[in-house]
Structure 1
């Protein structure tokens, strides 16, 4: 008992004793005056009680000591309660505890949580405890830095260097579109002399030129760095490092954090367009985009936007034409596409131009390529709108690629309160691309024009059947993704989780006719086994420790590939680097509730037909 409380009780009981001895009236203390607040409902009840006591003292000649003691005890109890509530010392202790919890000393709080968990019947439920384990898994997997490039790329150096055209050597053109051209590139040493010789038809290898330099065509934006970066800010949404000018100019644009299935874009900057001798085949590929100071018939400006990114082997479209991948690889590619879409969805960014030639592949691994989403020029990445864009007039851009535009977008008409909802539009486009991944023509833009489906009016029963070797779960999933009504579609994260379950979950969970779903404990045990496998094996991919390159001669790719072949012979059954990478993307976002949602969908929609 505190000294203050002890003293208060002595004083109050002293008044009561003195009144009993002297037989005189001692007026009760007005509680509302003591509290120094405006009396409310509770205070009015206190006045009623004290008034009754006063009336009893004046009117009763017997002065019943028992009732007086009861009334005084009631008043003392109320006073003590108010003393506790309004005690400045107690308030200070509460403020001090709050500061300790939220500003660095959370030990007492977490000790309480620990005791609660140990007792088994604490403040946390079993579901919350298991979700806490999922959080630990996400934290552990997110800290892994994956870097298994067979090319001579030092990502840290590229990101930290203030890259300009002066410290880049530009190689041969790799690709050209309507709005940009892409060249092979590499960082130039300080002592290195620019190489402007050689035939325009020669092909620089990815080992010698591991980077790609994208130069945007600038016809309308004046030659000012801030203006260019502001006008072309959508192009640099996935960039990992921006200069101060870019950060200021694109202050209303969201930037997408790095992800294995999003293009590795290292740097973006505005600079003067270099000489024609530095840009091989410039007069042939894009003469109109050149400024008049370099080419008299050009219509371009003197400055433009340049983007430094990782160089990839080919697009998904070319890969599917030139290769005949197995069903396992096709499933992995589709799962990677859904993981990339999920990453954009979680950060409220819509690509709005998904198609097979905007999906690039890293085929440095012999077995499984790594798929990334590129070309964000049509994306919606506005901090103020998120995925819901007000659509008040036809002048508002809906995005590119009308053929793969989701029904809820392409059919939307403008109005005062109309909104374009892009929450599931990229997912719908992924469902259409799935036909290409699984070896068929895309029903929305491939084949004869008269046989193509239109997203404006197609019927779901018009969608062609996927090949027989495609797993039934995947067929149902693609059918759900291509539902016309977005409310009937799964969200992107659940769709990606279903594909991950198909690839890695125990077969007993997915066998037809399974009547009982796995328990929460079984799901957590499975997640822990996957996380342990990645943490123990994922750092040593194909026998080479990718967490440190000190034991490998950088650039000696032939030696690395030989070691890879030898290790693959001795470690058959171990997953490849892209598979570990795909697993890590799943575990870095996993949650018990999302897995249960995916399992319930599989059970309700797939097993219903068996």
Structure 2
């Protein structure tokens, strides 16, 4: 029983005593008690001291019970415990803080489901093994077969001798390192090899760690902030002695440190070696050898756009997008291949999209066939500035058209074999959301060209295949048919009550849509292709509310 209830019982005993024996008895025995009782009713503790003497002199049953009760009450004097005091102090402090910061708390924004899901997928990103230590001496590797070469480098298979016997290494497969080395051509062995760091600054953008680069070797170097699943991994780069590798005299004889090229053999020739992850084949070879279906085409195109969007967010233009610079890995032909973007030798990474095109011999990009009109049509002058912000999305649109166009030809042959009457005047994706986004990617006016983030969102949203697909999902979330033409961020910032109600409804629809998309990704990860699951995870961890709202417009029916 609580102490205060016990005190109430004692108070009732006191009232009963006074009613039975009157004030006269109390006045004769303890006059002070009667004076206290007369002006106001007896309280819980006011009569305890005065009545204690009365109880000692009484021998009646009522007095004995009253005396026993008083003894117990004195023995059970209430003293709050330390825990109670601390809890009471915390409650008082919390009440004071809530009152003091009430206005600030009212201004705090609610974290939406969209943002919570976005943060969860960012926090649970897969571990990156790119920072694992690898040797910085070419003699500690075993160099294998020649893979390919270009104007500036040759690529070979590579194996780390120290890790070749380890089956637990995450970079290995069947006990063998899946690595490759790019040997940069040193066109002048008479100059210090350290100059290659500056010459290859763009090539080293995906470098996992810049600790191998000597301090001050590369001025204003802006590497990628973190690794990305669709950007090639460069594990290390180092200067080491030149080695005569297989097929060197056949594929790049003009850059060899030979008597024919230099008149004498240069002393201690060195060059730059770049160690990276090895992939099976290029996109161009894959499309020639493997039959595509629309799911694999969508997943590959989505990965390409995720890579372009990642570079776009860091103000980096690749400027050499082509099928031969896109590498693929896969375990079987039925699996969706894992795609990465490689060869950053022509990349523009100055912190600005603009290039001052003053001289005709300036490098504008590696693959002229995939350069956008604003670059191809530029004329060198003191007032000419080329904006590369939408250059990569143009090249990605051309590559995407090549991917889906080959898919269309493959399915056309199947339909012809089945004697089906179909109009083949246009690819099958024309008039679909895929066709709308590719049309926007290939706009000649860069101002009308879509941003890479929005294009990637459209392709990723099309991967939702439950029920009626993404179109049915947008209808269920009431995100279809608005056609407002404004960004969701602008709507949320509006002070108009009508627009605020509208934006809240759209915001709730986006929360519901991304929640269902994330739930589908999580629940289906055991049966879904792992590459598609990785693509969806990248999409959810990257996307923003404004980009998704802009992507919804491409699923609207057009007149």
The TM-score normalised by the length of structure 2 is: 0.66
Corresponding position of 1:236: 204
**Given the alignment, which residue of 287, 310, 313 partners 1:343?**
310
CA contact (8 A) 2:433 2:554 kept: no
Alpha-carbon deviations, 1:285-311, whole Å to 9, x = none? 322222128998899992211111111
1:470 CA drift (Å): 6.4
1:509 CA drift (Å): 4.3
Corresponding position of 1:506: 470
Corresponding position of 1:123: 107
CA contact (8 A) 1:134 1:590 kept: no
1:166 CA drift (Å): 2.7
5+ residue gaps, structure 1: 1-106, 148-153, 193-203, 443-463, 543-573
1:290 equivalent to 2:256? Answer yes
SS at match of 2:209: strand
SS at match of 1:382: coil
**Given the alignment, which residue of 221, 224, 230 partners 1:253?**
221
SS at match of 2:433: helix
CA contact (8 A) 1:240 1:267 kept: yes
- d(CA) in 2 for partners of 1:391, 1:242: 30
CA contact (8 A) 2:206 2:231 kept: yes
Corresponding position of 1:48: none
Corresponding position of 2:184: 216
- d(CA) in 2 for partners of 1:191, 1:507: 50
1:598 CA drift (Å): 1.4
**Given the alignment, which residue of 511, 524, 528 partners 1:524?**
511
Distance 1:529 1:306, change over 3 A: same
1:273 equivalent to 2:242? Answer yes
1:155 equivalent to 2:120? Answer no
Distance 1:521 1:246, change over 3 A: farther
- d(CA) in 2 for partners of 1:466, 1:247: 56
- d(CA) in 2 for partners of 1:221, 1:339: 39
Larger radius of gyration: 2
- d(CA) in 2 for partners of 1:113, 1:316: 62
Distance 1:231 1:304, change over 3 A: same
- d(CA) in 2 for partners of 1:590, 1:346: 11
- d(CA) in 1 for partners of 2:519, 2:392: 33
**Given the alignment, which residue of 298, 305, 312 partners 2:272?**
305
5+ residue gaps, structure 2: 1-93, 166-171, 409-423, 484-504
SS at match of 2:450: coil
1:392 equivalent to 2:354? Answer no
CA contact (8 A) 2:186 2:255 kept: yes
1:583 equivalent to 2:533? Answer no
- d(CA) in 2 for partners of 1:293, 1:112: 86
1:168-183 residue pairs with structure 2 within 5 A?
Answer: 168-183=141-156
1:259 CA drift (Å): 0.8
Corresponding position of 2:405: 439
1:491 equivalent to 2:451? Answer yes
- d(CA) in 1 for partners of 2:460, 2:99: 37
- d(CA) in 1 for partners of 2:407, 2:150: 23
- d(CA) in 2 for partners of 1:237, 1:113: 50
Q: How many residues align?
A: 414
Corresponding position of 1:551: none
SS at match of 2:158: strand
Q: CA RMSD in A?
A: 3.7
Corresponding position of 1:264: 233
Alpha-carbon deviations, 1:259-315, whole Å to 9, x = none? 1111111111121112x3xx2222333222221289988999922111111110100
Alpha-carbon deviations, 1:173-213, whole Å to 9, x = none? 11122221111111112999xxxxxxxxxxx9986341011
- d(CA) in 2 for partners of 1:219, 1:166: 22
1:223 CA drift (Å): 5.0
